[in-house]
Amino acid sequence: MLALFYIFIGVAIGVSFWQITRVMDLRTVIADDNDNDKQGKYFLVFTVFFYAMMVYCLIAMNVLMLPESASIEGEHDDNLFDITFWLIGIVQFIMQFLIFFFTYKYRGRKDKKAKFFADSHVLEIIWTTIPAGVLALLIGYGIWQWNNVMTLSGDDDAIVIEVYSQQWRWDARYAGEDNTLGLGNVNYIDINSLNTMGVDMSDKNSQDDKQVTELYLPKGRKIHFKFRSQDVLHSAYMPHFRAQMNCVPGMVTEFGFTPKYTTEEMRLNPEVMAKTNNINKIRKAKGEDFYEFDYLLLCNKICGASHYNMQMKITVVDEDEYNKWISERPTLAEVIKQ
């Protein structure tokens, strides 16, 4: 079978070279009326292919998209995205049609004359001011939403969680009863005493902190994330929550959101169900085990060999369940040998 494949490739290459040398013998080099006519029509054919592909992707790939935002802050992101996408979609469909249709319509002929048309201030003012006006709206909504997401002060009852990255794993630290994280620095890392996140255990705020390898978040409570990295840049990407922030060695970065649906609720979301069913069909055909939807935190900044496999599961639950879960975790004072 493989031999046949190589023979096929060999023949294909041979034929191409033969064709190329044959074509090279054609000595016409400048497009004539016949070429203009043919190429103009090809542009029309291409337009059909192009629109078919665009529409097919827009429809068929809808099921692959991320489901609706699972955070309250992300709702406006989805809105803004929809507005922007419709807008650029319409412009795209009109502009591409005009480009290719004009190419077809005005394909050259010897007996035709082009119109001498060098300037029109009216037209130019129109297509400068309309984009400017539309952009003003997008910029306004965008910056409003950006401030909305990025403003973290004023949420005093937000749960503070530190997300900690290293090559190639994630850890997290809950701030405990006092909701204040103890100081952290790489100098405090001591693998032997299980202080893997470099927490200053002489800080009284550190004692009740809780280190975990999986995130549990209560539905409806604002979460205030603080990110640290111990070696290179990483990026904590939580696509379902429309959340992402880089983890930078030497500084603490922040992001916040409020989970809107528990994991269980999200699994019943029609968009999620459609996507999951689709995935399970594919997995079944390959004989792989059943997949169930989970929120994930992925690394999204190139960080070395295992960048492609740096993930942490996020589970969103009701507040009662969250309280039960967190109370069962041991505090750092209990875990770290001092």
Nearer to another protein (CB atom), residue 53 or residue 264 = 53
Q: Which residues contact 279 (CB under 8 A, 6 or more apart)?
A: 291
Q: Is 204 in the site for another protein (CB under 8 A)?
A: no
Binding segment (CB under 8 A) for another protein, from list 78-86, 153-161, 200-208, 312-320: 78-86
Return the ∠ at Cα 299 (arms to 210 and 257), rounded to 5°. Answer: 60
Rounded least distance, CB 206 to another protein, Å: 17
How far is residue 10's CA from residue 199's CA, in Å, rounded to a whole number?
63
What Rg, from alpha-carbon coordinates, does the chain have? 29
Long-range contacts, stretch 151-156, CB < 8 angstroms, 24+ apart: 152/224, 152/254, 152/255, 152/256, 155/222, 155/224, 155/256
Cα 86 to chain centroid, rounded: 19
CB 292 within 8 A of CB 267: yes
Contact with another protein (CB under 8 A): which of 70, 158, 299, 314?
Answer: 299
Q: Which listed residue (51, 75, 108, 269) binds another protein by CB under 8 A?
A: 108
Residues 164-203 that bind another protein (CB under 8 A): 166-167, 185-187, 189, 191, 198
Beta carbon nearer to another protein, 92 or 193:
92
CB of 16 to another protein, least distance (A): 7
Nearest-approach distance from CB 334 to another protein, in angstroms: 24
Q: Is 42 a binder of another protein (CB under 8 A)? A: yes
Q: Is position 270 an interface residue for another protein (rule: CB under 8 A)?
A: no
Which residues 10-39 are close enough to bind another protein by CB under 8 A?
16-17, 20-21, 23-24, 26-31, 35-36, 39
139 touches another protein by CB under 8 A: yes
How many residues appear in the chain?
338
Please report whether residue 293 would count as binding another protein according to CB under 8 A: yes
Q: Is residue 326 close enough to count as binding another protein by CB under 8 A?
A: no
Options 14, 18, 52, 92; binder of another protein; rule CB under 8 A: 92
Contact 279, 238 (CB under 8 A): no
Residue from 75, 96, 180, 267 binding another protein (CB under 8 A): 96
In angstroms, the CA 247 to CA 235 distance is 5
- Rounded CA-CA distance 255/150 in Å is 7
Which residue, 198, 263, 190, is CA-closest to 229?
198
Nearer to another protein by Cβ, of 22 and 337: the residue is: 22
Is 87 a binding residue for another protein by CB under 8 A? The answer is: yes
